[in-house]
Amino acid sequence: MTDILTIMRTSAVIPVLVIDDATTARPLAEALVAGGLRVLEVTMRTPAALDAIAEMKKVEGAIVGAGTVVSQGQFEQVMAAGAEFIVSPGLSQGLGETIVKSGVPFLPGVATAGDIMRGLDMGLTAFKFFPAETSGGIKALKALAAPFYQCRFCPTGGITEASARDWLAVEPVECVGGSWVTGGTLAEIEAKARAAAALRG
């Protein structure tokens, strides 16, 4: 099984996907992967999410994970749907330990030093900094990351096409999460994905 750091380093931007209609999932995934964004996070915010994960898994080259996982019940559901990694908005002891024990790549949300220390206690060193902009932005992440030199981050929440490059320039940042690449026609989405994939270069 691929580890979470390898997944984070696969794409400069991880699209955060809210899917209302599972029939749109596969074409959307094909457009994003064609543009160079292979890591896809399907959020558990809609009834279509589980079917969307299963559909996106059919796309060659796609690495499909589940986001907004907040309970053990949801964790079991997304694993049954074929999720290859798990993203959560925060880090609770019960859910965190369950996912860590399973060995599935896990990217929990953190916003404070206490959050990170709880993750380190579980053996985690990769985190989603969330919500990135309203938690103080780049200055806050730099200050937070300083004492936790061993940690790597994927800031998510309020990051835009205009600000993504600045976030990616921060040393402990491996990738960013964003939804700006997901709007428009499939051709427009592929073009946005191509531009996003080039941000790291």
By annotation, the residues acting in catalysis are 41, 128
Q: Is the dihedral of CA 76, 81, 85, 88 positive or negative?
A: negative
H helix runs in the chain, sequence order:
4-8, 25-34, 49-56, 72-81, 93-102, 113-121, 137-145, 161-168, 186-197
Cα separation, 86 vs 80, whole angstroms: 13
